[in-house]
Amino acid sequence: MDLGSQVSTGVSSVPAGLGLSRRSFLRAPIPSPGEVICTAQESLEDCGRVHLVAFWGIGLKEGANGEERRSFAHLKLLCSTVGAAFCAPTRLSLLFADTHAHVNQIPADICQLYREDIARLASDFQFELVLLSTIPRMPNPELGTTNLPPKVFERKTRYIRAAEKFGSRETARERVERYVRLRLAERGPIKSSFPNAILLSGDRPSDSFLLPNLSTVFVYFGGPGSNHKPWLSRPMGGPE
């Protein structure tokens, strides 16, 4: 289904791509445009807004900088574009991944400083900031051993390489396993807390098994056509 086609919802006709261009906003075609549009209509009936949610991670930066502000401006434009497609206001809830930071062994002081900066930016852009640790029935980050899905082992090398950005190579495999277990366990509580929300994901579509079962749109976080996630930048003053 191309971006110019329309999906009839019984209330109005909405562009199948929600007005979002592939070049600027969409990392991949929307998997189920009709489902996404129905979720938006349910959100409108529930709270009068199209509710969007997105994960916001934490790396080793001790504070936010211009990259975060540019990303927030890009997300604000994305929300405005979706709102125009529905002729309705939008609401964006950023899910601040403090529990992910814990299993990635991000120092608590860095997490706190970064959270304070992101909270100020969220206020400036009128986004809601929600700590994952505050969502009801969220799992304890210190989860016991469980069987991991085969997809994890198919992507093992890439996941371990990503984990090395947060610490030593010696502990990368262990941190990957803890992180994946946490992501799988948190899907249910997030779905329960945001049942009528559309998830804006900066992840690869092939990693969707880690995401809560929400209507999902895969988007660029770093700006038009950019997969870059600002929180994964090298610490200010760190080695290149």
Q: Nearest 10 degrees: CA dihedral of 176, 177, 180, 186?
A: -120
Tens-digit pLDDT profile for residues 32-88:
889 999 999 999 999 999 999 999 999 988 899 999 999 999 999 999 999 999 999
Query: Looking at per-residue confidence, does 142 or 103 come out higher?
Result: 103
The residue range of the domain holding 12 is 6-191+217-223
Which run of H or of E encompasses 46?
helix 33-47
10 exposure class (CB count in 10 Å sphere: 0-12, 13-18, 19+):
exposed
Any domain includes 151: yes
Please tell me the total count of domains within the chain: 1
Any domain includes 99: yes
With bands split at pLDDT 50, 70 and 90, how would you rate the model's confidence at 153? low
List all residues 6 or more positions away from 96 whose beta carbon is below 8 Å from its beta carbon.
56, 58, 115, 118, 129, 130, 131, 132
Candidates 206, 159, 212, 165; CA nearest to 185 is: 212
Any domain includes 19: yes
Any domain includes 207: no
Any domain includes 137: yes
Any domain includes 96: yes
Q: How far is CA 94 from CA 108, 113, 163, 237, in A?
A: 20, 17, 22, 27
Q: How far is CA 90 from CA 77, 197, 231, in A?
A: 11, 11, 24
Nearest-angstrom CA–CA distance, 191 and 23:
29
Query: Looking at per-residue confidence, does 68 or 162 come out higher?
Result: 68
Residue position matching structure tokens 């930016």: 121
Any domain includes 31: yes
Any domain includes 112: yes
State yes or no: pLDDT of 165 exceeds 90: no
Phi and psi, residue 178, nearest 5°:
-65, -40
State yes or no: pLDDT of 172 exceeds 80: no
List all residues 6 or more positions away from 140 whose beta carbon is below 8 Å from its beta carbon.
none
- pLDDT number for residue 26: 94
pTM of the model: 0.85
Residue 16 token pair: 């199948």
Candidates 34, 48, 7, 45; CA nearest to 217 is: 34
List all residues 6 or more positions away from 216 whose beta carbon is below 8 Å from its beta carbon.
31, 36, 198, 199, 201, 208
